[in-house]
A and B are shown apart, each in its own frame.
Chain A
């Protein structure tokens, strides 16, 4: 029996932040049966409490100097050791005393660690969990910045972990970035990795001024961060719970947060108003679908913006008894000036083809998917521009009203725009042209190329081929009507 055991004063030990140091002290203390209330493992990184004279006292030497005659083998299960090692990384200054108390109690209660509801066990598990979480967060939130020196590229990070976990967290980076030269600087120490040198190298702490202050790739990273989230589903409190503010200092993307949060609401409002305010002619189309009434209402249409630049709206033309309706794309330059469909060069091609297959031009009704001319001004020229899908869809109610008034036996879509209006955005014109299709608004619909495509052919040969295509499809239409 040595004298320490009987002293009435509590043994005070100053423990450095190292699990091995504590383990050495705890082993000796346990062998001498010093109870947890007779010993105090103080964290030496924390200023000692108590009066100056007492605080200066450290009984470490006197504990270790005691001759070790005891043969007592302490019970230290693996399950305790693994957890104690992790808890040792925690900054809580009371951890060493907690670990010793548990170790002491384990000697008589071997299943203690299984009782998670025990106060000490619960405290240990909490420390372990917080250290693990901090390790996980370090793996997530370290941000490397690239620099170049005489030996090539190097990646450097400044990081402030909540606990002293650098040795715990570093091997992860060694495996992941094995082929890169990198270093992580923290307030507790530094770790380096050289691809060709085995093992991690640890060094003393360096402050953040030793780490680079920027990396040009961060611009791209921030672009990504700002684009990948859904402004319609803001949930900043969940974000903060997963990414606590204490980690924000070293995350470049966090700079964007205020403006992203601020703009989110207006972005959603814009999307919704755009969707509900999609251009459509529907409000301008009269309820009674008769050709004269429709023609009267057409000039007042403001369903999309095309009316602003066109000379006039171009209604369809043809007899009410027409069995065939031909739908083009939109009025061209001449149609726009004269207010009639198919009176320009493309109209000429169409009339020629119709005459050749035996369709009387005055027996069919001709109209367009879009009723205003869309163009860009180039000097004196007005160059045709394809209507956008939104413009085609905006004008569709007029076309459907015309078809409703006419109830034709056959609708022929001329070109891609008319097909997209009536047969959907994915209709493949060159694959499915010339085929008779059934739709909800007309018993039979077919599509062929637009006569202007003939005019745009590369050379005489292809113009000839395109013309034949148009004429043959019209012949199919004509035969169908004759048979019907």
Chain B
């Protein structure tokens, strides 16, 4: 066989790596070490953007796209007629250093097809990271795929060189795996995640007592699942993600909408899963991680799919009129976080500002609150959600025409949910708003 040039290998093995969504380089601080290039201030940097709108932060490569597995959804499966290539560890090391020196990248994200055995494959990946760190004193970011089922000592070694490890969960349910990825098993993948988690927790604990304990995967672990290749519902996906977040303290779950690729199996859909579904899942993910929503609240048993036309927070608000209105100038942080159109950045700003200044609708507009959605659910210094209050009252058999009475009634309902401290403020604000508006 004619041996391929580095450029040809790069084309093949970058192309094969592009289906991995993660490219984050954040979450790990690493000061310059004075002996080699590279540092990280903890914030990721996107060095370029490709026409699909994705960022290039890391040199994302497969060590090889040869693979002994036959996962139907994967372009690199053994039965796929694609061009194959394999880098040597040295080639990847030089590419990483050369790219890094020109400021093209933050570091390396290395994955691989399974060759020979999970252990052998993992050893190769660890070898690359080890060379970068111990021979070249490379201080940039390194993300390594944890090959499910590989020996625990390899995971432990990988974590001492890598900033992040990730074992892909691949598909939302074990049933999906049986169908599309016969060699992969949820319990093996979760076993790998579990070992990374336990080992990291142990070392982090130890480091709190002995500062010399080496860091282990300081940017934690993440995973990825392909959505839209199987009929699993959004509710199943969200619950699965929640399980992973709580059991293994994952930093991120990446959702990749299935998209067609060369030589795909005829069992797969011909069309890409709509990008908006992926977007809604990420919104749901954020609601769990930053907005205090429980996994079960985001969808319902009867309607297990996310509504693609509106964001999941708005959908929740429409299902829960009893929770609203929320007073911008008095409500607790947890309540503000549930208002559609207000992001957690805005919540923090509102909390800061309202100590010194009662916020009006115009002020919220300046803070880039999406008023189109928010105005129906909030009380501000000069605003009451009249329209929505009337609608709720129809539902709650209250009075039709007396808007003032309606407002005070809904206020008393919300009061029960608020800390006693804030009640008085709230009522005052609401009353003044009522008189102001009417």
For residue A49, CB closer than 8 A to chain B, the reply is no
Contact residues in B for A237 (Cβ distance below 8 Å): 53
Chain A minimum-CB-distance residue to B359: A117
Chain A minimum-CB-distance residue to B259: A232
Q: Contacts A177-B101, A239-B53 hold; do A136 and B45 have CB atoms under 8 A apart?
A: yes
Q: Contacts A175-B31, A230-B18 hold; do A116 and B352 have CB atoms under 8 A apart?
A: yes
Contact residues in A for B59 (Cβ distance below 8 Å): 224
For residue A272, CB closer than 8 A to chain B, the reply is yes
Q: Contacts A228-B60, A425-B79 hold; do A239 and B14 have CB atoms under 8 A apart?
A: no
Chain B minimum-CB-distance residue to A155: B101
For residue A462, CB closer than 8 A to chain B, the reply is no
Q: Contacts A224-B10, A268-B260 hold; do A229 and B81 have CB atoms under 8 A apart?
A: no
CB proximity of B378 to chain A, nearest CB, Å: 16
For residue A151, CB closer than 8 A to chain B, the reply is no
For residue B49, CB closer than 8 A to chain A, the reply is yes
CB proximity of A186 to chain B, nearest CB, Å: 15
* A251 vs B102: C-alpha distance when bound (angstroms): 11
Q: Contacts A144-B103, A224-B59 hold; do A176 and B32 have CB atoms under 8 A apart?
A: yes
Grouping DSSP codes into helix (H, G, I), strand (E, B) and loop, the B interface class, with mixed when no group exceeds half, is: loop
Q: Which residue in B11, B78, B266 is a CB contact (below 8 Å) of A275? A: B266
For residue A345, CB closer than 8 A to chain B, the reply is no
* A180 vs B68: C-alpha distance when bound (angstroms): 42
Interface string of B328-339 (1 = CB under 8 A from A): 000000000000
For residue B434, CB closer than 8 A to chain A, the reply is no
For residue A205, CB closer than 8 A to chain B, the reply is no
Interface residue total, chain A, C-beta cutoff 8 A: 72
CB proximity of B111 to chain A, nearest CB, Å: 13
Complex contact B15–A271 (CB within 8 A): no
For residue B402, CB closer than 8 A to chain A, the reply is no
Contact residues in A for B99 (Cβ distance below 8 Å): 217, 220-221, 224
Contact residues in A for B14 (Cβ distance below 8 Å): 223-224, 227-228
CB proximity of A328 to chain B, nearest CB, Å: 20
Complex contact B272–A233 (CB within 8 A): yes
For residue A353, CB closer than 8 A to chain B, the reply is no
Complex contact B51–A264 (CB within 8 A): yes
* A253 vs B11: C-alpha distance when bound (angstroms): 15
Complex contact B11–A215 (CB within 8 A): no
Q: Which residue in B36, B69, B366 is a CB contact (below 8 Å) of A179? A: B36
Contact residues in A for B32 (Cβ distance below 8 Å): 175-176, 178
Contact residues in B for A141 (Cβ distance below 8 Å): 47-48
CB proximity of B5 to chain A, nearest CB, Å: 10
Complex contact B48–A243 (CB within 8 A): yes
Interface string of A107-147 (1 = CB under 8 A from B): 00001001111000010000000000000100111111110
Chain B minimum-CB-distance residue to A236: B51
Chain B minimum-CB-distance residue to A233: B52
CB proximity of B388 to chain A, nearest CB, Å: 24
* A270 vs B264: C-alpha distance when bound (angstroms): 12
For residue A276, CB closer than 8 A to chain B, the reply is yes
Complex contact A424–B70 (CB within 8 A): yes
Chain A minimum-CB-distance residue to B15: A227
Contact residues in A for B301 (Cβ distance below 8 Å): none
Complex contact B182–A180 (CB within 8 A): no
Complex contact A425–B70 (CB within 8 A): yes
Complex contact B349–A116 (CB within 8 A): yes
Interface string of A272-283 (1 = CB under 8 A from B): 101110101000
* A236 vs B51: C-alpha distance when bound (angstroms): 5
Chain A minimum-CB-distance residue to B68: A426
CB proximity of A192 to chain B, nearest CB, Å: 16
Q: Contacts A140-B46, A227-B14, A425-B78 hold; do A271 and B262 have CB atoms under 8 A apart?
A: yes
Interface string of A210-223 (1 = CB under 8 A from B): 00000101011101
* A141 vs B275: C-alpha distance when bound (angstroms): 28
Contact residues in B for A482 (Cβ distance below 8 Å): none
Complex contact A229–B52 (CB within 8 A): yes
Contact residues in B for A236 (Cβ distance below 8 Å): 51, 53
Q: Which residue in B34, B51, B183, B263 is a CB contact (below 8 Å) of A234? A: B51
For residue A235, CB closer than 8 A to chain B, the reply is yes
Chain B interface: which of A292-300, A373-381, A387-395? A387-395
Complex contact B70–A426 (CB within 8 A): yes
Q: Contacts A272-B260, A388-B81 hold; do A143 and B37 have CB atoms under 8 A apart?
A: no
Contact residues in B for A136 (Cβ distance below 8 Å): 45
* A114 vs B77: C-alpha distance when bound (angstroms): 57
For residue B212, CB closer than 8 A to chain A, the reply is no
Since A116-B367, A146-B101, A175-B39 are in contact, a sample of 8 more A-B pairs with Cβ atoms closer than 8 Å, ordered by chain A residue number, is A141-B47, A176-B37, A179-B34, A220-B95, A234-B51, A235-B51, A272-B270, A425-B79
A residues near B (Cβ < 8 Å) are: 111, 114-117, 122, 136, 139-146, 155, 157, 172-173, 175-180, 215, 217, 219-221, 223-239, 242-243, 251, 253, 257, 260-261, 264, 268, 270-272, 274-276, 278, 280, 388-390, 393, 420, 424-426
| A and B contact pairs by CB, cutoff 8 A, 18 listed | A117-B362, A136-B45, A140-B47, A141-B47, A176-B39, A176-B139, A225-B48, A230-B259, A233-B257, A233-B272, A235-B53, A238-B49, A239-B50, A243-B48, A253-B48, A270-B262, A272-B270, A388-B81
- CB-CB nearest 7 A-B residue pairs: A238-B53, A229-B50, A235-B53, A425-B79, A227-B14, A117-B363, A232-B259
